[in-house]
Amino acid sequence: MILIHGPTGGINWNYTSTFLRNNYADFLHYFQTGQIPQVAQDEWAEFGAGREPKFTCGGCRRVLPLAVGEVDHVVAKSTLTATLNPRTAVIQRVGSHYTFPSSGRVWTINISAPKPEEKNFQVRNDGCLYLSLSSSAAIQQPLPQGRVRVVAYHQTGTPLGVVVRNDVLNLQLLCSSCNRSKGNR
């Protein structure tokens, strides 16, 4: 699972879809190579109005300008479900169902500093996921003898149903024709 979040830890479709459309090539490059990309000329093409960023439609496989791409779910969002299982150690996805532990780590990208990082999270009794205010790297730093680290969490929680609809690993870019023909599948 990879989540896009705002500066206050909130997760919503606007953040996710906007980030993915605007950073699609960089996002793919990072998760395929683990390196922050430079501007690559092979990710651009001539479509009649000058060179533009391109993408390959997840439906028809045509290469199109990124500006016409539409973000859609691979597994329909209407079928996605989530439950809390404190005995689970990590977030698990089987088909359209996600199982969350009561706490753990998740890959995130903050829209105001778009570099992927792993963050701690909690799922509380209200059924919402809360992201840590600190990066996991800061949390893992050793402390002087006798000191205790307090992990602070964002005050904004996101219901698990919203979280699973915003998992970037379940998203794809489609042309408008493929997105309309796919419907709610």
pLDDT tier for residue 185 given thresholds of 50, 70 and 90: low
- The more confidently predicted of residues 126 and 35 is 126
Pick the range with the lowest mean pLDDT from 45-59, 82-96, 149-163.
149-163
- The more confidently predicted of residues 79 and 148 is 79
Q: Give the tokens for residue 73.
A: 């779910």
pLDDT score of 29: 65
Q: Which burial class, exposed, middle or buried, applies to 131 when counting CB atoms under 10 A from its CB (0-12, 13-18, 19+)?
A: buried
pTM of the complete model: 0.78
pLDDT digits (tens, 9 = 90+) for 24-46: 766 666 666 655 544 445 678 88
pLDDT score of 52: 85
Q: What percent of the chain has pLDDT over 70?
A: 78
Torsion, Cα of 75, 79, 85, 87 (10° steps): -40
- The more confidently predicted of residues 150 and 74 is 74
C-alpha span between 102 and 128 (Å, rounded): 10
